[in-house]
Amino acid sequence: MKKFCLAVHGGAGALLPSDFTPEEEERYKIELKQALDHGYNILKENGSALDAVEACVKYLEDCPLFNAGRGSVYNFDGKHEMDASIMCGATLKAGAVALVRRVKNPVALARLVMERSDYVFLCGEGAEQFAEFYNIEMADETYFDTPLRLAQWMKLKGTDIAQLDHTSISKSDVHTDNQKENSKFGTVGAVALDLQGNLAAATSTGGMTNKRFGRIGDSPIIGAGTYANNQTCAVSCTGHGEYFIRSVAAYDVSALMSYKNLSISEACMEVINNISNLNGKGGLIAVDKNGNVAMHFNCGGMFRGMKDSDGKSEVFIF
């Protein structure tokens, strides 16, 4: 019997159980489960892995709990700059966008780049012009403004410090009536295997708080933050992007499986160990061509979950 499965992540970092009330922890788990359900419902109806990962990531982009889409952090200039990518394991086609400010769901634009252009990677104004040409849903820049992200940025405003979104911030620094927005972490991503045996991966992020000079991390870079190949696996990464770029992390998982015949879990562990050796922090999710899932990280926790056609369904933070 053919198997389908998928996994999602909502970021990794220095997460501690003490950072969350039981209600907050449950809220994150509910959102991860909802994202998984969006992809699962597509896969069980014989839908494509591409459709499934896009649906999962779009759901997480729309959720203000995570640093992607609606919950994106502020850059040095007090703006939002979002990145995303998607890759098809069957064709090795890929699409990516970076530094977009008005695209409601950057992952949808990344897929459009893959399917409607001769390019792989668009950025900035050009990417937004492409989005408008194809009538991708846009949003006013204020749509991405949220109280916690503003509070995080205000702590760093005027400094040269860029900060990962999973760095702690006191709730006393946040003035909001919406308790749901009081704790937000993470780049988001999804990987999937469909009933046709095709793999796909997608990743989306708002980057680092107070980043400047047009900094781009690993999330939109094919082979670093996202990779899919039907012969091996699909991978989505999260963490300190510079280390994942240097390690070509997502592709390296596939290469280790192909060239060293490692299992998906062994390959992921080796990649994370290599990043640890560079003093980098983060994690990744991956699924192989047989439907085996791996979710590894080298920090306090990673918002993550998986669901498959065998009835297995689980979400974790720590």
Predicted confidence at residue 165, as pLDDT, reads 55
Q: Of residues 224 and 208, which shows the higher confidence score?
A: 224
pLDDT band per the 50, 70, 90 thresholds, residue 171: very low
User: Which is the catalytic residue, given 187, 205, 209, 226?
Assistant: 187
pLDDT band per the 50, 70, 90 thresholds, residue 3: very high
| Per-residue pLDDT at 180 exceeds 60 | no
Lowest mean pLDDT among 29-38, 80-89, 156-165, 252-261: 156-165
Predicted confidence at residue 173, as pLDDT, reads 38
Distance CA 250, CA 296 (A): 12
- Look up residue 65 and give its two tokens: 């709990």
Backbone region of residue 78 per phi and psi (left: phi > 0; alpha: psi in -120 to 50; beta: other values): left
> What's CA 16's distance to the chain center, in Å?
20
Burial 34-52 (b: 16+ CB within 10 A, else e): ebbebbbebbeeebbbbbb
Strands 188-193 and 199-205: antiparallel
Distance CA 116, CA 198 (A): 20
pLDDT band per the 50, 70, 90 thresholds, residue 199: very high
Give the mean pLDDT of 38-49.
98
Please, are residues 9 and 68 in contact by the beta-carbon 8 Å criterion? no
pTM: 0.91
Predicted confidence at residue 151, as pLDDT, reads 67
Q: What are phi and psi of 118, to 5 degrees?
A: -95, 5
Predicted confidence at residue 111, as pLDDT, reads 98
Predicted confidence at residue 150, as pLDDT, reads 63
Check if 146 is active-site.
Answer: no
Q: What is the pLDDT of residues 231-240, one digit of tens each?
A: 999 999 999 9
Give the mean pLDDT of 167-196.
58
| Per-residue pLDDT at 158 exceeds 80 | no
Lowest mean pLDDT among 57-61, 98-102, 207-211, 296-300: 207-211
| Per-residue pLDDT at 19 exceeds 90 | no
Predicted confidence at residue 10, as pLDDT, reads 96
Q: What is the pLDDT of residues 205-214, one digit of tens each?
A: 998 878 889 9
> What's CA 113's distance to the chain center, in Å?
18
pLDDT band per the 50, 70, 90 thresholds, residue 41: very high
Predicted confidence at residue 157, as pLDDT, reads 73
**Residue by residue, what is the 3-state secondary structure of 161-214?**
CCECCCCCCCHHHCCCCCHHHCCCCCCEEEEEECCCCCEEEEEEECCCECCCCC
Distance CA 94, CA 85 (A): 7
Please, are residues 260 and 250 in contact by the beta-carbon 8 Å criterion? no
pLDDT band per the 50, 70, 90 thresholds, residue 174: very low
Predicted confidence at residue 58, as pLDDT, reads 98
CA–CA distances in Å: residue 217 to residues 84, 92, 134, 210, 314? 10, 21, 26, 13, 28
- Average pLDDT, rounded, for the chain: 90
| Per-residue pLDDT at 97 exceeds 80 | yes
> How would DSSP label each residue in 51-105?
HHHHHHHHHHHHSTTSSSGGGPPP-TTS---EEEEEEETTT--EEEEEEESSBS-
Helix (H) or strand (E) holding 305: strand 301-308
Q: Of residues 134 and 211, which shows the higher confidence score?
A: 134
